[in-house]
Amino acid sequence: MTNQLLSRALVSINWLSEAVKTQTGPALRVLDASFYYPPVRNGREEFEEQHIPGALYFDIDQCKDLESPYEVMLPSESSFAKYVGNLGINNDSHVVIYDADHLGMYYAPRAWWMFKVFGHKNVSVLDGGFRNWRKKELSVTSQKLEVKPETYHAVLNPSMVKKFEDIEKNVSSKEFQLVDSRSLGRYCGTEPEPGEGIYPGHIIGSLNLPFTEFLTEEGYEKSPDELRQLFEGKGIDLAKPLTITCRRGVTACQLAMASFILCKEDTAIYDGSWFEWFHRAKAEYKVSVWKNQKS
């Protein structure tokens, strides 16, 4: 274990604080992926007020399929390549991603997974996020960094992305384990789902393992041994195919990152997740007590 890599997907705050002082240009690109839904906070405005020196803003709500009726679906290869190239990132860049959520890491794992799914080799999440960067009273700035666009080549790994049809087929074939990373209440249907026109519940046959269980109270990733125990405690076999779902493919990436830390590199994300499933699946494939409670 080096000072740089706390695990296969994480860098420490201490390492990054030194790296931003010594590394310049596209060799290191730091991205703030803060985004909030419902929009109780404005990630871009907060970034402009203060961020880690040298960081650029990665807008998950813009780097997506803008024509899809489903929330934050992956963009095309060309769209992703153009977006990140304009952030001064090339295929050799070490990309380090953080967000400012109070949990420590919320949207950063989604951005990490996007880079992984498009074939980027050297991408990490800042363990503890901006919350703990500020707690350590490290330098912040409002200065805008001007970067020169770089050429970026994106190649989608389709095995890491599941579509609606894949999940629908899996209901009967059970080719892969399906795990939902939302809270137990939203999974069961006892807590409301954010947004209008959608009630909580889960995909039939899916297990529940909330992403918050992977984080310490301080906002750091738990140890590899603790991560493994979380999966094993739910009967999830990391030697077998695994797909993660949530509401819209964001917190699911926390579990994908945890499995990557445990050397499982083929965990897939159901990109449309519950939002798409709610609108497209047969009623008997949606499990929830919500309607019965509200009727």
Residue 53: exposure state from Cβ atoms within 10 A (0-12, 13-18, ≥19): middle
Dihedrals φ, ψ of 179, to 5°? -125, 135
Q: Does the annotation count 253 as an active-site position?
A: no
Q: Are 85 and 150 in contact (CB under 8 A)?
A: yes
| Continuous H helices in 180-244 | 184-188, 224-233
| Cα dihedral 282, 183, 61, 161 sign | negative
Structure tokens at 135: 């707690």
- Provide the angle, in degrees to the nearest 10, between the axes of the packed helices 108-117 and 252-261: 70
* Whole-angstrom distance, CA of residue 43 vs CA of residue 124: 20
Distance CA 16, CA 3 (A): 10
Backbone angles phi, psi at 40, to 5 degrees: -75, -20
Which residues are marked as active site?
A: 246
